[in-house]
């Protein structure tokens, strides 16, 4: 079985399209999309007149004079993983001085982007083809959770075990304590109990693929105890990724982008499993 896994799209619509294409290109038997799924910034598109706007992009303010040009620029914003909102100068000033309103707009845009991705997946993939599993990351706001639960062609896999071609895919977005106070983090004891309950459903560890992206003492203890054949790990920004062994478990971590303004690049790993063994793996970049 070929398993293609990616993580860290961080809001990039271009990378999401690349992921859908790559599942087909690599002839994967299952695609797994892990967090973080959401971006971290919003561009203020300022409406200056009936058909004129100012748009910040790549450190510059662009003067836009047609709806077609605006659509092109905002698509570029979405491709790099940012969000955008159109406002008058007065609306912008009101929003900027109201943190609660900023939070409301931001979460609404995050949710809308994920909804767009799910629609795109339904259109691109149709009813056939391999299963595509999806889960948020420990830094993703929970406003996307109910969207993913009704994901159409994409199957939610967070905090559950999903059977695929005789293998069990075990996933959790939860994290132990971090310096960033992430949305889904908890103390290590609580995390260990949660992961223990989840992984107790594993049948044969030779046929278990465990996605525990956030590293912690709890996750390490779980891997040591259950010894799944593969564990997928997340990366911090700029990490080169790589492969390592924890007991008999092969731990794989795709590379992550180097800087916030780097060109949208999809990093992943393709793993070939056969009869409960890892026959080969390769890190990918697109």
155 and 237 in a common domain: yes
Same domain, residue pair 185 and 205: yes
Write the DSSP string, 54-77.
EEEETTEEEEE-SHHHHHHHHHHH
Answer whether residue 161 is part of any domain. Answer: yes
More confident residue, 51 or 236: 51
Residue 74 scores a pLDDT above 60:
yes
User: Residue 43's closest CA among 21, 58, 27, 25?
Assistant: 58
* Span 188-214, average pLDDT: 96
Residue 236 above 70 pLDDT?
Answer: no
Tell whether the model's pLDDT for residue 22 goes beyond 80: yes
Tell me if 121 is assigned to some domain: yes
The arithmetic mean of pLDDT across residues 153-180, rounded, is 95
- Does 176 share its domain with 98? no
R_g of the chain computed on alpha carbons: 20
The residues near 109 (Cβ < 8 Å, ≥ 6 apart) are: 42, 83, 84, 85
Which pLDDT belongs to residue 73? 92
Instruction: Please indicate, yes or no, whether residues 156 and 27 belong to a single structural domain of this protein.
Output: yes
Instruction: Describe the crossing of helices 67-79 and 13-25 by its angle, rounded to 10 degrees.
Output: 60
Residues 239-264: pLDDT tens digits?
778 999 999 999 999 887 655 546 78
**Count of domains observed in the chain:** 2
Is the domain of 161 the same as that of 251?
Answer: yes
Instruction: Tell which of 76, 106, 136 closes a domain.
Output: 106
| Residue 251 and residue 131 share a domain | yes
Q: Which of 24-33, 69-78, 176-185 has the lowest mean pLDDT?
A: 176-185
Output the pLDDT for position 238. Answer: 59
Convert 205-234 to b/e letters by CB count within 10 Å (16 or more is b).
bebbbbbbbbbbebbbebbeebbbbbbbbb
- Asked if 82 and 167 sit in the same domain, the reply is no
Nearest to 234 by CA among 172, 154, 188, 160: 172
Residues 239 and 181 in one domain: yes
**232 belongs to a structural domain:** yes
Quick check: 202 and 208 in contact, CB under 8 A?
A: yes
Residue 76, in any domain of the structure? yes
Domain that holds residue 87: 42-106
pTM of the model: 0.94
Residue at which a domain ends, from 84, 106, 128: 106
Higher pLDDT residue, 183 or 132? 132
In a domain, 223, yes or no: yes
Confirm whether 111 is domain-assigned. no
Domain annotation covers residue 46:
yes
**Residue 181's pLDDT is what?**
87
| Residue whose pair of structure tokens reads 């062609």 in the numeric block | 153
Same domain, 183 and 275: yes
Which domain-ending residue is among 60, 77, 106?
106
């Amino acid at each position: 079985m070929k398993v293609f896994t990616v993580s860290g799209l961080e809001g990039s619509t271009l990378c999401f399209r690349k992921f859908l294409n790559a599942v087909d290109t690599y002839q994967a038997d299952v695609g797994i999309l892990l967090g973080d799924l959401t971006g971290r910034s919003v561009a203020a598109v300022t409406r200056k007149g009936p058909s004129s706007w100012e748009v910040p992009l790549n450190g510059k303010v662009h003067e836009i004079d047609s709806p077609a040009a605006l659509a092109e620029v905002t698509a570029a914003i979405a491709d790099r993983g940012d969000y955008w909102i159109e406002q008058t100068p007065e609306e912008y000033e009101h929003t900027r001085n109201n943190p609660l309103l900023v939070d409301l707009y931001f979460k609404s845009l995050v949710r809308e982007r994920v909804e767009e991705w799910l629609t795109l997946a339904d259109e691109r993939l149709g009813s056939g083809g391999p299963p595509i599993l999806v889960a948020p990351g420990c830094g993703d706001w929970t406003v996307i959770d109910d969207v993913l639960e009704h994901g159409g062609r994409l199957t939610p896999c967070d905090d559950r075990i999903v059977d695929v071609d005789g293998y069990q895919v075990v996933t959790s977005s939860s994290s132990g304590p971090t310096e960033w106070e992430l949305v889904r983090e908890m103390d290590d004891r609580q995390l260990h109990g949660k992961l223990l309950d989840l992984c107790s459903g594993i049948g044969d560890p030779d046929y278990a693929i465990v996605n525990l992206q956030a590293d912690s003492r709890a996750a390490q203890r779980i891997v040591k105890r259950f010894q799944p054949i593969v564990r997928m790990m997340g990366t911090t920004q700029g990490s080169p990724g790589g492969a390592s062994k924890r007991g008999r478990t092969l731990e794989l971590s795709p590379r992550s982008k180097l800087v916030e303004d780097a060109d949208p690049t999809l990093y992943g790993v393709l793993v070939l499993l056969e009869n409960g063994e890892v026959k080969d793996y390769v890190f990918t970049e697109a």
